[in-house]
Structure 1
Amino acid sequence: MNTTKLNKPALILIDIQKGFNDVAYWGGDRNNVDAEEKASELLEIWRAKSLPIFHVQHCSSNPNSILNETNPGNQFQDVVKPLEGEAIIKKNVNSAFIGTNLKELIDNAKIKNLVIVGLTTDHCVSTTTRMAGNFGYTVYLVSDATATFNKKGLNGEEFSAELIHQTALASLNEEFAQVVSSEFIKEIV
């Protein structure tokens, strides 16, 4: 049954793919180790309420990338694996809106509210969130259902995944999205 306080919110799951399980490949450490589980909990709510779901899959054009379609890392993680009939949006850049039909699908369904979860906070999640906000959608970015990895600074300094995550969220909050918890989303959907 489609009953929610929000008008037909869409859940956008960004790049929750097996390749992101290789923590060493992405920076050696990550935050929010339960992010995929939190995303899965929201996905189950969306399925139970027959709300719109969009699975975004990064398909790197680099044949050596762990996220290239020829590599097993490209596959969705089992915890959020799409069901038959759920939309899969394949992209090869940071934004789920560039080179895809995501905006067309959202607009054709007259969706105004987007809930965004996924990987990684400072890359594809951030870029997609920024574009969604610029397109005029009401965007809820779920802080505990997103995650990222350690980064090296320009001078070789180490920045923790949690610092990168929190900085990315702070840059998005109240300008491109409302940054919220999964518990908040559960209360309004």
Structure 2
Amino acid sequence: MEPLATNAALVIIDMQQGMNDPNLGRRNNPDAERHIQQLLNAWRQSQRPVIHVRHISRTPGSVFWPGQSGCEFQQALAPLKHEHVVEKNVPDAFAATGLERWLHMRSIKQLVIAGVITNNSVESTARSGGNLGFDVIVAGDACYTFDQTDLSGRLWPAEDVHALSLSNLAMDYARVVDTAELLADGD
């Protein structure tokens, strides 16, 4: 992998307390938070921009409904005062948030995406970023998802949902790499 841009932005998606709700079901990749923390530490050390995306739901009963603890960032991954926070109401962090403009104003062309849910907000944001012309990299081992039932009632394990989502992104929208590779090329 070629070296990361000196202003490559780390985009951490929806790492909120609500993601720990047991009602969301069984998840994959128990090491995701550790990998996200490694990326966050590296970005802070190199003084690259960090963007924290928070989902604020419009659906009553959601773990991300305003005013609930589920909306709060997970403490270990909480933004520092100078780090940019984007609030979104749909899976795509570019939709009606001003994120694209914020990046363009700072001449940021490369994004490294981590967070949740792989096949929802991560995939939606990475697709939009790629379509908008950004150089998008998804840290595949710094994301996770949950078991999912398809329209025919078949239950798909989170590992399969995650793998297919990353494969979809790798076709046209983003490069998918592991955290170790990003950290090795980050300097």
Q: TM-score, normalised by structure 1?
A: 0.94
Gaps of 5+ in 1: none
Measure, in 2, the Cα distance between the counterparts of 1:160 and 1:136.
32
SS in 1 for 2:121: helix
Q: Does 1:62 align with 2:59?
A: yes
CA RMSD of aligned residues (A): 1.1
For residues 28-71 of structure 1, give each alpha carbon's deviation from its aligned partner in whole angstroms, at most 9, with x where no partner exists: 21001111121111001111111011000000012321111211
Is the contact between residue 37 and residue 79 of structure 1 (CA under 8 Å) also seen in structure 2? no
Q: How many residues are matched?
A: 184
For residues 78-114 of structure 1, give each alpha carbon's deviation from its aligned partner in whole angstroms, at most 9, with x where no partner exists: 1211111111000000100011011111000001110
Describe how 1:49-128 pairs up with structure 2 within 5 A. Answer: 49-128=46-125
Q: TM-score, normalised by structure 2?
A: 0.95
What is the percentage of aligned positions where both structures have the same residue?
Answer: 36
For 1:25, the equivalent position in structure 2 comes to 23
Measure, in 1, the Cα distance between the counterparts of 2:132 and 2:74.
29
Is the contact between residue 143 and residue 169 of structure 1 (CA under 8 Å) also seen in structure 2? yes
SS in 1 for 2:172: coil
Measure, in 1, the Cα distance between the counterparts of 2:85 and 2:4.
26
SS in 1 for 2:82: coil
Q: Which amino acid aligns with 2:19?
A: F
For 1:180, the equivalent position in structure 2 comes to 177
Q: Does 1:129 align with 2:126?
A: yes
Is the contact between residue 10 and residue 51 of structure 2 (CA under 8 Å) also seen in structure 1? yes
Measure, in 2, the Cα distance between the counterparts of 1:127 and 1:136.
15
Measure, in 1, the Cα distance between the counterparts of 2:127 and 2:4.
24
**TM superposition shift of 1:5:** 4.3
Measure, in 2, the Cα distance between the counterparts of 1:71 and 1:19.
9
Describe how 1:1-16 pairs up with structure 2 within 5 A. Answer: 5-16=4-15
Measure, in 1, the Cα distance between the counterparts of 2:169 and 2:93.
16
SS in 2 for 1:99: coil
SS in 2 for 1:56: strand
Change (3 A) 1:94 1:18: same
Q: Which moved more, 1:139-148 or 1:62-71?
A: 62-71
Which contiguous aligned blocks of 4+ residues in structure 1 show a shift greater than 3 angstroms? none
**TM superposition shift of 1:6:** 2.3
